[in-house]
A and B are shown apart, each in its own frame.
Chain A
């Protein structure tokens, strides 16, 4: 190419570069950075001694929980297991535990290594969901106190800020429909956990003060996210041709139907761990969501796409709330049963038992030993939230067994447990009456 334009490009190729001094400066800093960010692991027999990233300067001995692998690979697996329900990722480490900063590091790394705006936004919304799930697990394990609540609130705020930014970037990139879908998912998490927090508070006066900061943050974030979601929906309807809008709205309806099916499946599998009233109320809410879907479809047929979107979103949030409330009730009921000591034997086996998870070819995390606990047999399914948004269905196992592991490995401080009352069957009397 002999044109002067290309000649200029060629000249610049040779001349435009870092100054030698600056290049060397950066190299020196990079070299130091590399030295500070080397990761190693040492394996000794049955006990896996993991040398954590030097930044955190912690030594952990995680026995029979993780296969021997470089710790950062474990983080990557954990981070990529985000999605759907009270997940393994939410439970493996909790605020206040030694492993928690390492888990957060892994999550942040996963976000850094995600390069598409869509994936970044979806991941960050899921992280918000996981912070809220951690709150439920903390309460279930009697570990929600001023310290853990403060850690949780701080991380929640950071993740919520990140989600807002990433949704904004997605919108700026021109993909308003996906931005709207992610915003909806975020509002669904927040709304459901508003209800969870309200019920925790209703069941325990101790928790009112402890959860005050988190509750305020969640309420504020829900209002902001709802407004954003509504604005994005309006933009979806206004900015495209009718066929495009119709497709987007139908996709939203499909996503809502998937979440309804998810919630129903969870109820069908876990009703033995819930109160009869709880199941009845959940089924009633699902019926409302299904009715909203029927109305949404009518609106689509009539060309009233904005109304259809509102109804589909309402159904989505309702179904998500059903599932999250049900999961939380199951969590709390499991803890009550263990405090009774009735399932102590099988719970002990859980420490040794494996929870084999296949995570899209990235490897497995499992421990040695056999699983005999009945909870493995009753593991439920939950879809990834990203899949929900796309209206596609694919199930992963909700690993209740992991709850047993964490519960027994973590230090128990029943003196700090919020009040939990249960009836003769181990069902919580007041905390989670729907």
Chain B
């Protein structure tokens, strides 16, 4: 989706379309649901400010991921940043307040996914989630991670290979 500068309607359409995806992206990387929600809001506000400067964004989805990634880094800086290793560990994760059965089911799923991902190098986890959770194309991943498209493809292939290998070995056990 290309959004022209100062196009409020289109921007809010983008919010409707991508807010949940950005939320998922953030929730995997921060400590609490509340924090993830705050970063979603911050991401869209920063993106708007960028557009209000006169910029046009060709691929708003990929751009939002990039802004979210940086906001997560900034958030971690304020709170003594933890590595993704620690975030993947349940030790540091505070218990959420489960208001719905769905929340509990989601939490179990996330725990399982994190457990599998913890076997992979940190850079692989990010790219696997971007590809298979967030459905970003390699080009979009390149924008989100601020790397070249070629680099994104190479890293993605390697990450998928390593993941498959890990899942295969685990199955044997």
Residues of A within 8 A of B (CB): 1, 3, 5-6, 8-9, 11-13, 15-18, 22-23, 26-27, 29-31, 33-35, 37-39, 70, 72-73, 75-76, 109, 112-113, 115-116, 165, 169, 172
Contacts and interface: CB of A to CB of B under 8 A. Distances in A.
Nearest to B117: A5
Contacts of A16: 20, 23-24, 27, 106, 109-110
Given A5-B113, A16-B24, A27-B15, 5 more contacts: A12-B133, A15-B109, A17-B23, A18-B37, A27-B19
A1 B167 CA distance: 12
Nearest to A12: B109
B1 interface: no
Interface in B1-55: 6, 8, 11-12, 15-16, 19-20, 23-24, 27, 37, 40-41, 44-46, 48-50, 52-54
Contacts of A26: 15, 19, 37, 40-41, 44
Interface residues of B, number: 43
B98 interface: no
Contact of B54 (A33, A34, A76): A76
Contact of A37 (B40, B49, B67): B49
Contact of A8 (B11, B24, B113): B113
Given A18-B23, A22-B37, A72 B52 contact: yes
B70 interface: yes
Given A15-B105, A72-B52, A172-B81, A30 B113 contact: no
Nearest to B160: A1
B52 A38 contact: yes
Nearest to B40: A26
A14 B113 CA distance: 15
B77 interface: yes
B96 to A, nearest CB: 12
B133 A9 contact: yes
A9 B132 contact: yes
Most B CB within 10 A of own CB, among A5, A13, A172: A5
B146 interface: yes
B41 A30 contact: yes
A9 to B, nearest CB: 5
Most B CB within 10 A of own CB, among A12, A16, A18, A115: A16
B167 A76 contact: no
A35 B102 CA distance: 35
Contacts of B154: none
B53 A6 contact: no
Contacts of B53: 72-73, 75-76, 109, 113
B116 interface: yes
B169 interface: no
A27 B37 contact: no
Contacts of A5: 112-113, 116, 163, 167
Query: Shortest 7 CB-CB distances between A and B: which pairs?
Result: A17-B20, A73-B54, A72-B53, A26-B41, A18-B23, A16-B106, A8-B109
A117 to B, nearest CB: 8
Contact of B41 (A12, A29, A38): A29
B66 interface: yes
A3 B167 contact: yes
A165 B135 CA distance: 33
B70 A115 contact: yes
A55 to B, nearest CB: 11
Contacts of A76: 53-54
A252 B43 CA distance: 37
B146 A116 contact: yes
B24 A115 contact: no
A124 to B, nearest CB: 13
Given A27-B15, A34-B11, A169-B77, A113 B50 contact: yes
Contacts of A165: 77
Contact of B109 (A11, A22, A31, A37): A11
Contacts of A73: 53-54
A108 to B, nearest CB: 10
Nearest to A79: B53
Given A23-B19, A165-B77, A112 B46 contact: yes
B132 A18 contact: no
Contacts of B24: 12-13, 16-17
A31 B45 CA distance: 10
